[in-house]
A and B are shown apart, each in its own frame.
Chain A
Amino acid sequence: MGYVATKGGTEAVLKAEELVEYFRLRGETEPIKIEQIKSQFRLAVDRAMSEGSLYAPELAALALKQSEGDAVEASFLLRAYRSTLPRLTYSLPANGTRMRLIRRISSTFKDIPGGQLLGPTRDYQPRLLNTLLTHESRGTMRRFLAKFEKQVQSNETDEQSGTFPKVIESMREQDLLAEVFSVGAGDIDEPFDVTRKATSFPAPRSARLQIMARGDAGSLLALAYSSIRGYGDVHPTLGELRVGYLPVEVAHPLTGESVEIGEIMITECEMVSRVKASGSEEVELSPKFGLGYGFSFGHGEDKAVSMSILDRAISAAKAGKTHGQSGPAADEEFVLQHIDAIEASGFTAHYKLPHYVTFQADISVLERAKDHAAVKNAEQAEKHRRLQQKLAKDAQENTLPD
């Protein structure tokens, strides 16, 4: 087969590709349309876009179709494609307050300016499998949508802009939030772009946020979980979670004025936690809350929440402001090196590649170590034997009468 010096390898690779296609199609079921994936699997599409680091719902849906639903594989396809795209421009800084919200909650206060909006969430549904879905038809869909739209029409009020102020803004007004830096256009340093420049550690915060925003939701979840379970000193409260449509603006190439080029759906999370004062701090500096920020393309709450917890943990650790147990989640280099799905899966999977040359080398080293161990064991055995002999002799001598 493959590794003998004939053309078996090439043939094997081609046949493997055919087999993949076969496994995808052999069910002979109705070919899935991109539109269906986009609309009925929107959360998978959102995750693929988020980890593929490319906001392109059709392409994400296509990638999911091609990868037979494998989320990491779909993100991989998007990343590779993204690499080939020309970089046209950077957007103007976007502010989350301008989002048209579909969901907005805060755990910090019961009532917040604008109110709590549950929006489309499964959080308060019992997780029971719904067998009725197996009989879903165009008819049932249309009936549901008609009923729903009637509600919307009868509820319609006049000027619902759909935008709301940020909860953390009211915290700022109440002087509860630690100042980080001022957010005005032109005040911000150019953000670090990890796809254009190699990161070194310690990393600037913009690099950290970028790496996490493209990171694997599962990895971020595990690390955030470890932090809140006790391997960390951050006790967070969810300041605000919002999901909605964010307008994207660029500067007009000629006039320099801002032009809105479209909207993307995003999830944004702001986590607050107590910033512990270290021993040498002035008593006058009153304690404040610190902010952790999380972001995801599309509707990705777990990821945004996990990211905000990690951002807070890393900020606190870097400022030297953790007191209790710390753990890997507060270690910037550890977190940022291990949360990228494409890197992690690529390298973990690379063990499937042939390693027989190095394994042969390992065998030869092992053989030598075995010989060495055998010699050492023989020496040990000899030592024991002599010791036992001596003890036996001593025991004998002691029982002999004087």
Chain B
Amino acid sequence: MSDNKIVQNKKWVLRADNLTRRYGSGCAYCSTITGPDHDTNQCQICNTVIACSGISFELGEGETLGIVGESGSGKSTVMQLVNLSVPADEGELWYRQSGEYDKEPLNLLTLDKFKRRTFRNQQLGIVHQRPELGLNMNFTVGGNVAEKLLMAGWRNVGNIRQRASQLMELTELPPTRLDDDPHTFSGGMLQRVQISKALSSNPSVLLLDEVTTGLDLSVQARVLDLIKRLQWELKIAMLVVSHDLGVIKQLATRTLVLKNGQIVEHGLTDQILEDPQHPYTQLLVSSTL
């Protein structure tokens, strides 16, 4: 773990150590000629693309960590790694139940496919930028919200519907629309449906991947307000990925700045925005409207 962390958080629920993912075989030169200083992710010698490398962070209970960067920065890859949808080439990912800080943490990247699926279903919730990625548009809204419950073994339709209605109320959706076709919902409403679904298993970590990108500004604002309210009510740990510093500023207490697959700066969001150290961060901050 890097020593110049400003805040040491001993009560982490998620910890990443040197996560690395590459596309290609790799060679001896890869690490020396790729990265933010070389302005590229791709090794000129062996053509390997290093999507992300050396990613380390701790996510505290109830904390929201932001990950900001442009396309190619590796932020989506980090999300995929944390969501256990792709394997890591190097590094480790640890998990602890909140409150159980003295117990052995769980090594997530070594889980077998069944445990991985169960963990992803129970302890993680993910919201994607595009609703089609997180929802099945052929099922009703209720069916979508209920999917994780059904995966977890809920077998009573009455109870399932009740829980789904509660989850819809939580995200300010009208529960009377439980049986509606998702095509009749607007973009902002579909994001709320995704959030309801993600929260249905009472996960420890919520992953938000560019969730407001593409929405109208007023809709964005309302979804952000919802997320802030949920942060306050549920005190759930969140990982927020965005290219938009404005979103990060609203949601994240601490932030990682990614460029060409590596962390170039990290710390309290306010401090980074007020006094960015790395030239890239300075560029990002200055170009924020």
Contacts and interface: CB of A to CB of B under 8 A. Distances in A.
Indicate if A touches B (C-beta under 8 A). Answer: yes
Contacts of A282: 47
Contacts, number: 3
Contacts of B42: 280
A282 B45 CA distance: 10
B49 interface: yes
B142 to A, nearest CB: 16
A400 B49 CA distance: 77
DSSP class of A's interface residues: helix, strand, loop or mixed?
Answer: loop
Contacts of A280: 42, 49
Nearest to B42: A280
The 3 closest A-B pairs by CB, nearest first: A280-B49, A282-B47, A280-B42
Interface in A272-312: 280, 282
Nearest to B47: A282
B39 to A, nearest CB: 15
A282 B46 CA distance: 10
DSSP class of B's interface residues: helix, strand, loop or mixed?
Answer: strand
Interface in B36-83: 42, 47, 49
B219 to A, nearest CB: 30
Nearest to A281: B47
Interface residues of A, number: 2
Nearest to B23: A280
A282 B49 CA distance: 11
A282 B24 CA distance: 13
B25 to A, nearest CB: 15
A77 to B, nearest CB: 42
3 contacts: A280-B42, A280-B49, A282-B47
Interface in B1-54: 42, 47, 49
Nearest to A282: B47
Contacts of B49: 280
A125 B47 CA distance: 53
B22 to A, nearest CB: 12
Nearest to A280: B49
A280 B47 CA distance: 9
A282 B42 CA distance: 10
Nearest to B44: A282
A101 to B, nearest CB: 42
A372 B49 CA distance: 57
A97 to B, nearest CB: 35
Nearest to B24: A280
Interface in A255-283: 280, 282
A4 B87 CA distance: 61
A283 to B, nearest CB: 11
A380 to B, nearest CB: 13
B174 to A, nearest CB: 16
A280 B42 CA distance: 8
Nearest to B49: A280
A285 to B, nearest CB: 9
B161 to A, nearest CB: 15
A280 B44 CA distance: 11
A62 B92 CA distance: 68
A280 B23 CA distance: 11
B258 to A, nearest CB: 18
B33 to A, nearest CB: 14
A236 B206 CA distance: 47
A188 to B, nearest CB: 25
Interface string A360-397: 00000000000000000000000000000000000000
Contacts of B47: 282
A280 B71 CA distance: 13
A26 B37 CA distance: 88
A280 B48 CA distance: 10
Nearest to A285: B47
Interface string B166-202: 0000000000000000000000000000000000000
A366 B132 CA distance: 32
B150 to A, nearest CB: 21
Interface string A106-141: 000000000000000000000000000000000000
A372 to B, nearest CB: 13
Nearest to B41: A280
B264 to A, nearest CB: 22
A254 B139 CA distance: 65
A17 B49 CA distance: 66
A282 B47 CA distance: 7
A282 B44 CA distance: 8
A280 B49 CA distance: 8
